[in-house]
Structure 1
Amino acid sequence: MACGSQWRRRGHAEAGLPRIRPHRNEPRQPICLRHTCALPDSRTGRPGGLAHLQPDLHPGHCPHPERPHRIPPTQRLHRPPHRRPAQGMTEIRHRIERAGRHELTITSAFPAGTDHIQLPIWRPGRYEQGDFGQYIRGMVQRTDTGWQPLSKVGLHRWQTVEPSESVEVRFQFTAAQLNAGSTWADEALLYVNPVNCLPYHDDLADIPVHIHLPDIPHDWYIATALPHMGDSEDGVHLMAKGTQELMDSPWMAAPADALWHGQYEVAGHPFHIHVWGQRHYDDDAFLEAHRKFTESQMATFGWLPVPQYHFLYLFPDFQARHGVEHEASTVIAWGPADQLTHSDGQPSAGLEEVIDIASHELVHTWNVKRLRPAEWMPYDFSQASPSRLGYVAEGVTTYLGDLFLLEAGVIEMEGWLRRFEKLLTRHLWNPGRLQTSVADSSVDTWLDGYKLGVPHRRGNIYVEGAVLAFLCDVALNRAGGGWLMDALAELVGPDQSRALTEERWWSTLERRAAKRSPEGAVEIRQLRADFCEGTEDTWPELVDAMMHQGIEATLEPHADPLARCGALCGQGREGRTEVKVCWPDSPAWEAGLRRGDVVDQVETERNQLHVEWQRDSVHATTSQWMLPEGAGHFARPRLGMFPG
């Protein structure tokens, strides 16, 4: 089996390529097989589900194929011994064919005893229910008498027939979303995120999975982190070690002239850049930016948890802004592509954003893919998996992603300040941060974390988590405990447990902050109480922390007097001015304004504001109140370096 770079042209021979073994510091995680309890099969008399397979007890995987010693207890996550499936259960097979624009025909084969199949209800990197079953139709199973429709026994689960025999199912999948986390198929591109569209069975999590793509033309390339089994006359073949790797390993295939590939190497590890879409920027400068931030991150963490890494870019001609992390790759979608340019050697705002996302996603290789909340070890795709550590998974990653760009020289201090200003604006303009803690907001991503939601109900784990990360970073440094990236590097080490708990995270920060004096640990505990578990206003603490870093922070009153009074407006339907956020207990709030109301006219007379607006966008209303003193609401943070 050839497992080199997954930059493959159809039809090229791959014989003789060396087999890349797992990195010496990359343990193989034991995944416990859970056997279903079901009534005996009426035809065979054997137990239902997979219980009749009589699996052998297996003490655990080895870190290397040639090294027989068992993995250390810290890597086992306190799970029961792994159970090896019975003989004859060799692999699961998925055959994926394009069936017209935005349509896929998927045929999946499972071992005997598979009493049901199901689709994941969520995907890694998006902590909400995805409901991918809504894109499936025509689920049938092959029987002796032909294809038989299957009955649903849940929103994402189908009951099979004759499970004592090998199970082969077929269905149609609508692949019409081109973003970083979905699946797309047309005549020019096949982009598949397996967690959207491939069924699985919990008890078969460790069974190898064979992917067959029969209709990939010979002049197409395929980009993926999955091992490539070689090409043949019947198409492309990929292989995953099991369900966890499969669901976290997307691929894209396109004509050779439409899929650009670049490569660089850091510390002996290949890093691949694959780009689908028009490129209006300097390829060399784009690759060099990746190399720089990769070197910075590798220098901090000291190792890479995977043998090689792949950046998969989708640059369509339409609007797209999205990035998703995966075990050994990331997918980043950004459009329109013609806004990604270089001018006088400098990247456009759009290209800067792409580089920001790329740095963020690479940090995830250590923070989320290597070290992740214990609730996600391993991923349970059958149900929601909320965690109170979303602010670490996403907030710390957001903060460090930009910081690595600064350390690598990809951006200057002015660029970092501009990014942090933008982050602080989103933070300060969200009244929800004062209502729900960032720890509770981490849980609530499963309710409304990725949609507009109630504007003043909760915080944003990316933004509020990044602000908390900055405060912890400064507190650690002030106490002589190093930096936050040093603490994370300690936790993601190759000999450390991969499961993260709240206690482990905060005790690590406290211990490092207490190296010089116990007061450092006290400050960390106070930050946790006030801004992680609590909802205190961060601005006074932010001003102090930034001053310690030589940064002057001020608040500039909003230019719109209505915003200063608590009603932040923007363009709404039919070009009307609509209230987007109304700050609770502000003058505008007390006057009755809420999100969605239409503002017709605003006049200022001396220190009073006169507003004509439409309640619920239809009922004409007039209100008048005094302008607030000081900066008021929705003030803009301004950052600059102190002289010297």
Structure 2
Amino acid sequence: MFEYTISCHCPTSQFTQIKLEIILNQSNLIRLQLPAWRAGRYQIANYAQNIRNFQVIQPDGQALFWEKTTKDCWTFNATKVGKYQIHYEFFAGKMDAGSSWVDDQQVYLNLVNCCFEVKGAALGPYSFQFDLEGFSQQICTLPEISNRKYEAINFQEVADSTLLAAKKLTHWQLPLREVMIHCWFHGEVFFEKKSFLDTLNSFLQKQLNDFGGFPENEYHFIYQLLPYTHYHGVEHKKGTVITFGPADKLKEKSSMMELIGVTSHEFYHAWNVCSIRPRDLFPYDFSKENYTKSGWILEGITTYMGDLYLLKSKIFSLEEYFGEIEKTINRVSRDFGWKNQNLLESSFDLWLDGYQAGIPDKKQNIYANGSLVAWAIDIHLHQSGSSLAKVMKHAYDRFRYGQRSYQEGTFWRVITKFGKEWKSNDFYKRFIGGNESILKELEEILPYLGISLETKPNPDSICRNLGILYTENKIQKIHPESPAYPHLMIGDKITQVEEKEKIKISIERLNGQVLDFDFKVKANFYPIYFLKATEVENELRNLWSE
């Protein structure tokens, strides 16, 4: 067994003190591998930069020489049998749903950030004790084996777990069939308990019914309700951490719907990712990048289904659902990355630039583009008498717990099996493995649901006529077919615009130039997309939204 003890002597310093004890029965080279990334964010995080004062104490009480072999791996040569102690400090100074934060009110740790995987010793469980005097209320998503002592069967479980110890936590419970749902809130709660739990119950029950079961017997929603603007969620097998702020905005329906939306998304991940996972990611190797082409399945399908269940459970009206999807459609319509990189390539490149804007029109967003592809798939499946929900239940029954993890091609064959009357392979070649816009496909197939995808001119004349997207007068993007494309640059500051027969625009460039341009052409760049129900009743739409 590997035993961790975590304490925090001075919370305002944001440093935690961590002790790891390893009992060795034979000499060996011990490698302590700190994760370089975490599940749910396919990007190198370099948690090792937050560690200081590392030391190894051998069984006789003497300090032992150690060295690093990579930026994330500490090694030492254990020549004596007995108990070795590893001491170090970890700086918890980043608040989001996948990081760690300490202050005078809480100690919040995602264990993947700060705990080592022990290599070179016999495999065994990892135990945890938290010596956090002053933070009397605690939740840890690891199994509790005795009073505030927790144990993980292996490091994969450690890396999937969260600790929140605080001076004050609000705890609500929601029995959901065979699952006990726990809601933990740190921060001020500005909404009513019954209304919130009733809302959760409606869409959680829908998800659980469609899958026919849940992989765990309890699940923890850990909410960090913050006084400043924040919005983030990270999935775990036994729970999720969600950050939201400002918390007082949750008195407003629109903000509460944002919180409910991310809650639905993360709960769906309990099946899709935590239980249904591609072979590329099973098990996780936290020491390096784990490449996969299945990102559109992991995040695209989850994004689509998370929102759809809010419609299915009547939390969203059809018009409110349209409003959410229109945001995604308009985001996708402004980017032409689909011309240069298909969804498989964009999934693979998550490690490169998946979480930043990147260069213009280079990639697709696996969340946004992937969710629209998932919607199109669901429409085609409904036309064949099936649904994406049925596909996902089959995937859960077949692939859960990593017993038979899937390959991206295998997953597509499952979809094809459920869409017998649909030219699914042609769809795959065009919109997943190919370079066609999914918006054109949606325009063609949405009428089957009695829905039309329409456009109206962009109300911003510079955007509409010149294809220029800008923020605070600084150009962020130029449509590649715009007459301004050969003349203006990203980063140019617009100082003056005159619109008569011509469009006259003055700019200041980063290199110091002040330039004037005249453009004759008027066009309809970046139109606004919107959805409209063309039929009061539609049988297929009713099946889709039930």
* 1:239 alignment partner, one of 144, 151, 170: 151
Letter in structure 1 aligned against 2:130: L
Q: Secondary structure at the match of 1:461?
A: coil
Q: How does 1:329-408 map to 2 (within 5 A)?
A: 329-342=239-252, 347=253, 349-408=254-313
The answer to whether the 8 Å contact 2:8/2:131 transfers is: no
Q: Distance in 1 between matches of 2:120 and 2:406?
A: 25
Deviation at 1:580, TM superposition (A): 1.6
d(CA) in 2 for partners of 1:205, 1:580: 54
Among candidates 550, 556, 571, match of residue 450 of structure 2:
550
Cα deviation, residue 111, structure 1: 3.6
Amino acid at match of 1:556: K
Q: Which residue of 2 aligns with 1:529?
A: 429
CA contact (8 A) 1:433 1:460 kept: no
Tell me the distance in 2 between the aligned counterparts of 1:457 and 1:202.
Answer: 40
Which whole-Å CA distance do the structure 2 matches of 1:183 and 1:498 have between them? 33
Which one is further off, 127-136 or 539-548? 539-548
Q: Aligned-pair RMSD on alpha carbons?
A: 1.8
CA–CA separation in structure 2 for the residues paired with 1:611 and 1:483: 51
Q: Distance in 2 between matches of 1:554 and 1:317?
A: 39
Once the two structures are superposed, residues 278-333 of structure 1 have per-residue CA deviations (whole angstroms, 9 ceiling, x without a partner) of 11112211111111111000110001011111100001112211100001100000
Q: Does 1:613 align with 2:507?
A: yes
* CA deviation string 1:449-481 (max 9, x = no partner): 11222132111110011011011111111123x
Report the Cα offset of residue 541 of structure 1: 1.1
Give the Å deviation of 1:336.
1.2
In structure 2, the partner of 1:250 is: 162
CA distance in 2, matches of 1:436, 1:107: 46
Structure 1 pair 374–561 and aligned structure 2 pair: CA distance change class (3 A): same
Distance 1:435 1:616, change over 3 A: farther
Q: For residue 125 of structure 1, what is the aligned residue in structure 2? A: 40
Determine helix, strand or coil for the equivalent of 2:303: helix
TM-score (normalizing by structure 2): 0.93
Q: In structure 1, how many angstroms separate the alpha carbons of the residues matched to 2:314 and 2:79?
A: 58
2:484 to 588, 592, 613: 588
Contact 1:205 1:242 in 2 (8 A): no
Letter in 2 for 1:172: E
Question: Does the 8 Å CA contact 1:332/1:358 hold for their aligned counterparts?
Answer: yes
Matched, 1:230 2:146: yes
1:603 paired with 2:498, answer yes
Aligned partners of 1:537 and 1:289: how far apart in 2?
35
SS across alignment from 1:562: helix
Q: Are residue 570 (structure 1) and residue 480 (structure 2) matched?
A: no
The answer to whether the 8 A contact 1:323-1:333 is kept is: yes
The superposition leaves residues 48-98 of structure 1 with CA deviations (integer Å, 9 ceiling, x where unpaired) of: xxxxxxxxxxxxxxxxxxxxxxxxxxxxxxxxxxxxxxxxxxx11111111
**One-letter amino acid of the counterpart of residue 114, structure 2:** C
- Report whether the alignment pairs 1:292 with 2:196: no
User: Is contact 2:282–2:405 with CA below 8 Å preserved after alignment?
Assistant: yes
Secondary structure, aligned partner of 1:314:
strand
Amino acid at match of 1:593: M
Shift of 1:106: 0.9
Give distance in 1, aligned partners of 2:374 and 2:23.
Answer: 47
Contact 2:330–2:528 under 8 Å retained in 1 = yes
Q: Which amino acid aligns with 2:471?
A: G
Shift of 1:588: 2.4
Does residue 1:439 correspond to 2:344, yes or no? yes
Q: TM-score, with normalisation over the residues of structure 1?
A: 0.79
1:475 aligns with 2:380: yes
Helix, strand or coil at the partner of 1:181: coil
Note closer, same or farther for the CA distance 1:164–1:469 as it changes in structure 2 (3 Å cut): farther
Percent identical among aligned pairs is 28
Q: 1:229–1:284: structure 2 CA closer, same or farther, 3 Å change rule? A: same
Structure 1 unaligned regions, length at least 5: 1-90, 572-576
Contact 1:456 1:583 in 2 (8 A): no
